[in-house]
Amino acid sequence: MPTPTTDFAIIGGGIVGLATALDLQSRHPNAKIILLEKEPQPAQHQTGHNSGVIHAGVYYAPGSLKAKFCALGVTATNAFCAEHAIPTQTCGKLIVATNADELARMATLESRARTNGIPIERLTAEDAQKLEPNISATGALLSPSTGIVDYAVMARKMADILTSRGGEILFNTRVTGGMETPQGITLHTTNGTLSAGKAVFCAGLHADRVARAFGADIQFRIIPFRGDYFAIKNQPDDLVQHLIYPIPDPERPFLGVHLTRKMNGGFTVGPSAVLAGAREGYGKFSLNAADLASALTYPGFWKLLARNAGSAADELASSLSKQRYLKKVQKYCARITLNDLAPYKSGVRAQAVAPDGKIIDDFLFIDTRHSLHVCNAPSPAATSAIPIAAHIADRLLAAQ
């Protein structure tokens, strides 16, 4: 039987892969586009296990791809959702300082937001108290353009649009390896072989493995960080009106345990950040020997750990002790008690780490002759998925 062929193959049915497939389809409506996803449905990993925040772009280093794509992504995400009747709420976010040290860091964050051109207001303790009576703060930043959405709903809509316009999605199809040829790229999958003119790999937690399986020269490894959440029960619907975030700790790569409104009502707190025993393991004790070995045999992981030993130990302790986790929330919302914390699904972040142990902070893409690998697309990549897709398509098509 001849090998099936396609113009574009997209690997990964998370929001980045789906947005990329749609962007290519809008530029080349007559091209054949096949998306390959190992799961039976879209959005089964990071896209379906996150905080659901449409980030405004406050935190990101000026000039970085994160800063650029997040700012564009807020508008693009809201426009996509408005066009397709997907509910969103622009509820705004309060980033709260609870002591003098955090107030000083808040000033740095404010100037970063202003450099990034992101709307931001500085609030006194009294202003913050008026806005959110259940929150204690010595000062706060208000980001009015931050919002919420269910990214899994967005991803499913993207999948529907893709197939309704003639694209094809092959679920339950894992890409296992392949090679570039003079004409394009050959992909071996669990359901046979496929030839593509061009391929885009958006494999999230498996980005490094997939890149290596295609011979890409990569220097990083994906380290999976599990984030545990709790749902808040026993509290009124008006507990808070905004999303409530702590001032990020410069020692830690993630944003800290935040109080988030959910699209289907209620609130969650989280996520924590601990090494996950499995790249797609959502339970506290999920273990995959190959995944764990991949982290533990990587010198970059140990260098990262050495550099962040204190915060890693604290995260691990909070993951094992609900009481300790609660303290992080009570710092700004004393009203929440141990009895209010109910189990909620966790997420696992795909974070690229360099051999010297440094977290690769920005989005990272690697091009080969006929393909592009999305190597690092952590938060805010869900917010930024539509502009990331446009960037990918520009690069892929420029290489023709």
Ligand X SMILES: Cc1cc2nc3c(=O)[nH]c(=O)nc-3n(C[C@H](O)[C@H](O)[C@H](O)COP(=O)(O)OP(=O)(O)OC[C@H]3O[C@@H](n4cnc5c(N)ncnc54)[C@H](O)[C@@H]3O)c2cc1C
Task: Give me the least distance between CB of 219 and ligand X, in Å please.
Answer: 19
206 in contact with ligand X (CB under 6 A):
yes
Residue pointed to by tokens 């970085």: 64
Mark the segment that binds ligand X (CB under 6 A) among 92-100, 200-208, 236-244, 315-323. 200-208
Q: Which of 22, 23, 35, 37 binds ligand X (CB under 6 A)?
A: 37
What binding mask, one character per residue, do residues 337-376 give for ligand X by CB under 6 A, x or -? ----------xxx------------------------x--
44 in contact with ligand X (CB under 6 A):
yes
The angle, 0 to 180 degrees and rounded to 10, between the axes of the packed helices 309-320 and 299-307 is: 90
Helix (H, G, I), strand (E, B) or coil at 54: strand
Residues with Cβ within 8 Å of 375's Cβ and at least 6 positions away in sequence, in order, are 207, 208, 211, 218, 220, 352, 360, 364, 365, 366
Footprint of ligand X on residues 3-32 (CB under 6 A)? Answer: 11-17
Q: Looking at the chain, how many residues does it have?
A: 400
CA dihedral 362, 367, 372, 373 (to 10 degrees): -50
Alpha-helical regions (H) of 335-400 = 385-398
36 versus 326: smaller Cβ distance to ligand X: 36
Task: Give me the least distance between CB of 34 and ligand X, in Å please.
Answer: 12
# of chain residues touching ligand X (CB under 6 A): 42
Residues with Cβ within 8 Å of 79's Cβ and at least 6 positions away in sequence, in order, are none
Compute the Cα dihedral for 74, 77, 79, 85 and give only its sign: negative
What binding mask, one character per residue, do residues 259-278 give for ligand X by CB under 6 A, x or -? ------------x-------
Mark the segment that binds ligand X (CB under 6 A) among 33-41, 159-167, 296-304, 362-370. 33-41
Of 3, 1, 36, 398, the closest CA to residue 200 belongs to 36
Task: Give me the least distance between CB of 272 and ligand X, in Å please.
Answer: 9
CA-to-CA distance for 106 and 100, rounded, in angstroms? 10
127 versus 180: smaller Cβ distance to ligand X: 180
DSSP structural state of residue 47: G
260 versus 308: smaller Cβ distance to ligand X: 260
Query: Mind giving me the DSSP string for 186-216?
Result: EEEETTEEEEEEEEEE--GGGHHHHHHHTT-
Task: Give me the least distance between CB of 1 and ligand X, in Å please.
Answer: 22
Footprint of ligand X on residues 50-79 (CB under 6 A)? Answer: 50-53, 55
Mark the segment that binds ligand X (CB under 6 A) among 56-64, 205-213, 306-314, 328-336. 205-213
Task: Give me the least distance between CB of 10 and ligand X, in Å please.
Answer: 10
Footprint of ligand X on residues 224-253 (CB under 6 A)? Answer: 227
123 versus 273: smaller Cβ distance to ligand X: 273
Footprint of ligand X on residues 146-185 (CB under 6 A)? Answer: 174-175
Q: Which residue is nearest to ligand X (CB)?
A: 14
Mark the segment that binds ligand X (CB under 6 A) among 24-32, 47-55, 60-68, 326-334. 47-55
CA-to-CA distance for 219 and 242, rounded, in angstroms? 40
CA-to-CA distance for 82 and 111, rounded, in angstroms? 31
Q: Which of 47, 116, 268, 318 binds ligand X (CB under 6 A)?
A: 47
Residue 361 to residues 45, 143, 237, 279, 380, Cα–Cα distance (Å): 20, 22, 35, 19, 11
DSSP structural state of residue 61: P
Q: Report the interface residues with ligand X, using CB under 6 A.
A: 11-17, 36-39, 44-47, 49-53, 55, 174-175, 202-206, 210, 227, 271, 347-349, 374, 377-383
